Structure 1
Amino acid sequence: MKVLFVCSEDISLGVASLSAYLKKEKHRVFLAFDPRQFNKSYAENKSLAHFFSRESEILHKVKEISPDLICFSVYTANYQWALILAEKIKKITDAPIVFGGVHPTLAPEEVIKQKAVDIVCVGEGEKPIAELLENLKKGKKEHHIANLWFKDKGKIIKNEVRPLLDLNKLPLPDRDLFLGQLPDSYFRSPAIMTSKGCPFSCTFCSNNSLRKIYQGKGIYVRKRTVGNVMVELLTLKEKYRPHYFIFMDDLFTVDPSWLEEFLPLYRKKINLPFSCFSHFNFLDLKTARLLKKAGCNLVLFGLQSGSPLLRRKILKRPETNEDVLRVAGICREVGLNFSIDHIFNLPSDSKETVFESLNLYNKVRPNIINCYGLMFFPGTEIVDIAVGKGILKKDSYKKINEGKEAVYASLVGKATADDYRRFALLTTLIPLLPQKVVAFVLNKEKRVNFFSDLPISLIIPIKLILYLKVNLGFIFSSVIGNEFFYLKQFFKYKFKSINY
């Protein structure tokens, strides 16, 4: 059977895993990829986005391949794009269309009612999609497959979620599926997952909602064995000759004993720089030394706010400012670069809590501070909090589930005020400025306002400098190189179409 996956913007390790599993089951797997050029947060232009649309190319590919099943990889930010494209694909093929991914998993009621969507995959898709293909192959209309929702004669059939998979029994992700459609940068600095799930219950994160869906279906936080991960790393090293690895686990340092076994082996057999995500309650001096010795170039921490009250009451994060300062000291002691994520426009955020955060970051002195505006995702607890505080209206649930708008909130001054635009530039700049200079600026609101009046786009060169300082300048060059790669692809297809 022929399966066509439709993805956008980035490589999907989920799709790569599905592809490997289905190929093992002797199915033929294809990919239609849309980079969505000029339709991204850092490069958005509606006219250019329309001109460089890959829609006709994808529709041509559907006709050419004539797949038996079409599977969309969907998250909230690309849900409307997926719906529009699925509607057009529906006009040229009778192949069933499946929507899977985080957004359909968290908002299946919204997704299944769409005319262009035949099936929704809730949760992991390897086994259910394989079972679906076998039924299609035999001509069976079987609507009782765990994890899948179907439509049948006007009725919606909702099947239960099956137990979580053993990650060690899955084949290695099929990254070759993306070769030729994605730039070399995705293979020269590949992302890898050694685990799935997070032990925390942050209100803004989909992990908390996903854990509830899988309640009673197995251990939510699952770690691959050291041997299993090493096989993938060695395969990637031999196949693609990477220069850097990015461990994308929600919490790479969740299991210290696993790290004690893995990191010395990584240094011995892989010996390439890498970055990973950690938590201020999951990094001690011993682990920091192991990370540094193994070649860790950057540890990313998701603090989100320097206000202990906001973290505890709004975000449900357990770390204290003392934990933050202690771990920052450990990182400096061993020479480990680290970054902090900050989210602006949180419910109950105020000028006082923002200044509290900035003062803490000036004490912590991370190498990089990544700033974001709050975005609400389906099924997350922070949506309930925002509605309860009157920041969002009750109809926001529907808008969020439909993925029709990025919803931001602020309680500084008027409801339309945006703390990101007011404070993100200064926050990003803190690691570059001397500690005394930052303290001087924060001492007077008038000085802070000076930075608020500067173009927000200055964040880009500032972050370039910060990333260069930690030997990660290739990230910025990759972004530029990627866009040129997609432009070249676009014009190559257009030229070919004209000749035909």
Structure 2
Amino acid sequence: MRVVFYQHDPFVRLGVISLTNLLRRHGHASEVVVESAHREPLAVVAAAAPDCIAFSVTSAHAAWTANAARRLRKLVPGALQLAGGPHCTFSPDFLDQGGFDYLIRGEGEEALLELLDAHERGRTVEGLHNLVRRGPGGTILCEPLRPLLERAALDALPDGELHAYGRYPAILEYYRHMFPVAASRGCPMACSYCFNERYRELYRGKGRAVRWRSPERSVAELTALHRRYAVTHFVFEDDAFLLDPAWFRAFAPLYHREVGLPFTCQAIARSIDHERISLAARAGCRSMRIGLETGDEKRRTSLLGKIVSDNDLRRATTLIRAHGINLQTFNMVGLPEETPDQALCTYALNRELGTDFAWCSVLTPYPGTKIERTLGAGSASEPSAYFRPGEACATPEAVLNLQSLMTLGILLGLPTTVMRHVIRLPRSALHPLLFELAFAYAVKTLNQVPLLPFLRLSLLASHYLRERT
């Protein structure tokens, strides 16, 4: 079958990479069509004559996905329409909102192959694990989840090649300078704003929450990708790259010897110790991302469920900086009843820790998360409600301004006392523009992406970014 994955923006998705490479191995043709890269993107999909149109859906893109699916149904009525990803996993009624034929919940590799095989052979899909389908009278039925993929199955997956993005040279050229990969799946944390806690509940008794590919298989993949794409920098998207000390002791020297490229990774502050940070630095780690979230330790641990203390952050970031590694942090503002002065504590803590790049978002209570249940926000029947930053908690304008200006303020080294006055200036169109410019500068400089590939991808993304601000 010919499968087209349709997405809004030009940013590579690891899930789509895994699925398209697996489809290719099993004889299916697959490619990605990026809406923001075309004047008439729906016509591009139609011209590809797909047998199946697929979407990988996060809650932030749910409304766009449902609308795109309805439009494509009219243009390519004979194509099977599927959707998967986090949003579909926790919101099975999205099946009707987008008029899809099926949704796939959880890990999708095996389910997608079995579904396409059944469709080709005219077989029933009843009992096909991980599938969301319609039953008698149009009722929505969720089939049981199959066990999570363990090490042997993860090792057997194809390399993460970007062949599905092949019609976009700008994407291929940009991502060879910050190539996304993962050596593991899952996260041990139970943060209230993230889906991982609910995900573990869904998969209880069906495998370990965090699973790793073997160090040898991971390095073999990276070596092959380096040769094929002339990669200059890898970005490990694992939620907790340093979590397993035994795995990392085996991986780091092997990576240094066989690959030897600089890389960026994400880590939980509590998993950072002298041994692991030393191994990471010797292996080539240039940037490390950690979740700070808020400068209010009590709300970080109680409301947000991130069991990381200020002292954990201080200890971890001291080690990171002592080993010459750039420090990147994830932050959020717009917590319930958060005042501008409380939000500024997050900025001040970043200043204290010596953060090089502070990503800041506004708290969004996505469906299926603990904080959504706590706040009573969001509704599975209203996809447009999933991404309205600041509305869920009636965020003050000064706090929204801080979200727009935090990255820039950290880059410029603005004292907290100065930022306190700056964020109280009236909000204007300049705020989102400054956010985009600061983010672009940080990404380019920290990841050392050459100017031309960076500008070419930015051009592809410009339409998408304008819609998000």
Tell me the TM-score normalized by structure 2: 0.88
Aligned counterparts of 2:35 and 2:295: Cα–Cα separation in 1: 35
Q: Shift of the alpha carbon at 1:343?
A: 0.3
Aligned counterparts of 1:22 and 1:268: Cα–Cα separation in 2: 32
- Taking a change above 3 Å as real, the CA distance of residues 476 and 108 of structure 1, as seen in their structure-2 partners, is farther
Q: Shift of the alpha carbon at 1:333?
A: 1.9
Which residue, out of 113, 117, 129, partners 2:112? Answer: 129
Q: Shift of the alpha carbon at 1:275?
A: 0.4
For the residue of structure 2 that corresponds to 1:335, the secondary structure is coil
User: Residue 144 of structure 2 corresponds to which residue in structure 1?
Assistant: 160
Q: Is the 8 A contact 1:146 1:162 kept in 2?
A: yes
Moved more, 419-428 or 196-205: 419-428
Q: Shift of the alpha carbon at 1:171?
A: 2.4
The percent of aligned pairs where both chains have the same amino acid is 24
User: Residue 66 of structure 2 corresponds to which residue in structure 1?
Assistant: 83
Which residue, out of 380, 383, 397, partners 1:398? Answer: 380
- Taking a change above 3 Å as real, the CA distance of residues 24 and 459 of structure 1, as seen in their structure-2 partners, is closer
Q: Shift of the alpha carbon at 1:378?
A: 1.4
For the residue of structure 2 that corresponds to 1:72, the secondary structure is strand
For the residue of structure 2 that corresponds to 1:300, the secondary structure is strand
Within the alignment, does 1:98 sit opposite 2:79 as a pair? no
The amino acid that maps onto 1:193 is A
Within the alignment, does 1:419 sit opposite 2:418 as a pair? no
Within the alignment, does 1:441 sit opposite 2:418 as a pair? yes
Q: Shift of the alpha carbon at 1:211?
A: 1.6
Deviation per CA, 1:9-63: give whole Å up to 9, x if none.
Answer: 222221222222233333x2222412426xxxxxxxxxxxxx93412222232xx
Moved more, 224-233 or 130-139: 130-139
Q: Shift of the alpha carbon at 1:152?
A: 4.0
Q: Shift of the alpha carbon at 1:277?
A: 0.4
Deviation per CA, 1:318-344: give whole Å up to 9, x if none.
Answer: 111111111222122222211112101
Q: Is the 8 A contact 1:377 1:400 kept in 2?
A: no
Tell me the TM-score normalized by structure 1: 0.83
- Taking a change above 3 Å as real, the CA distance of residues 289 and 386 of structure 1, as seen in their structure-2 partners, is same
Which residue, out of 426, 429, 434, partners 1:458? Answer: 434
Q: Which residues of structure 1 form unaligned runs of 5+?
A: 38-50, 488-500
Q: Shift of the alpha carbon at 1:179?
A: 1.4
Aligned counterparts of 2:443 and 2:422: Cα–Cα separation in 1: 26
The amino acid that maps onto 1:408 is G
Which runs of structure 2 are paired with 1:483-494 in the superposition (5 Å)?
483-484=458-459
Moved more, 287-296 or 239-248: 287-296
User: Residue 184 of structure 1 corresponds to which residue in structure 2?
Assistant: 173
Q: CA RMSD in A?
A: 2.8
The amino acid that maps onto 1:6 is Y
Which runs of structure 2 are paired with 1:379-394 in the superposition (5 Å)?
379-387=368-376, 392=377
Aligned counterparts of 1:253 and 1:112: Cα–Cα separation in 2: 37
The amino acid that maps onto 2:12 is I
For the residue of structure 2 that corresponds to 1:397, the secondary structure is coil
Aligned counterparts of 1:423 and 1:171: Cα–Cα separation in 2: 39
Which runs of structure 2 are paired with 1:336-355 in the superposition (5 Å)?
336-355=325-344
User: Residue 430 of structure 1 corresponds to which residue in structure 2?
Assistant: 410
Q: Is the 8 A contact 2:177 2:233 kept in 1?
A: yes
For the residue of structure 2 that corresponds to 1:160, the secondary structure is coil
Q: Is the 8 A contact 1:35 1:486 kept in 2?
A: no
For the residue of structure 2 that corresponds to 1:117, the secondary structure is coil
Aligned counterparts of 2:301 and 2:330: Cα–Cα separation in 1: 16
Aligned counterparts of 1:251 and 1:273: Cα–Cα separation in 2: 18
User: Residue 249 of structure 2 corresponds to which residue in structure 1?
Assistant: 260
Which runs of structure 2 are paired with 1:346-365 in the superposition (5 Å)?
346-365=335-354
For the residue of structure 2 that corresponds to 1:198, the secondary structure is coil
Q: Shift of the alpha carbon at 1:253?
A: 0.9
- Taking a change above 3 Å as real, the CA distance of residues 332 and 139 of structure 1, as seen in their structure-2 partners, is closer
Within the alignment, does 1:284 sit opposite 2:273 as a pair? yes
For the residue of structure 2 that corresponds to 1:398, the secondary structure is coil
Deviation per CA, 1:126-174: give whole Å up to 9, x if none.
Answer: 1112222222222223322010022244343321111011212322234
Q: Which residues of structure 2 form unaligned runs of 5+?
A: 463-469
Q: Is the 8 A contact 1:300 1:340 kept in 2?
A: yes
Which runs of structure 2 are paired with 1:4-403 in the superposition (5 Å)?
4-9=4-9, 10-26=11-27, 28-36=28-36, 52-61=39-48, 65-67=49-51, 69-91=52-74, 92-109=76-93, 111-114=94-97, 116-153=99-136, 154-166=138-150, 167-181=154-168, 182-387=171-376, 392=377, 396-398=378-380, 401=383
The amino acid that maps onto 2:115 is L
Q: Is the 8 A contact 1:246 1:275 kept in 2?
A: yes
Aligned counterparts of 2:428 and 2:82: Cα–Cα separation in 1: 47
- Taking a change above 3 Å as real, the CA distance of residues 453 and 151 of structure 1, as seen in their structure-2 partners, is closer
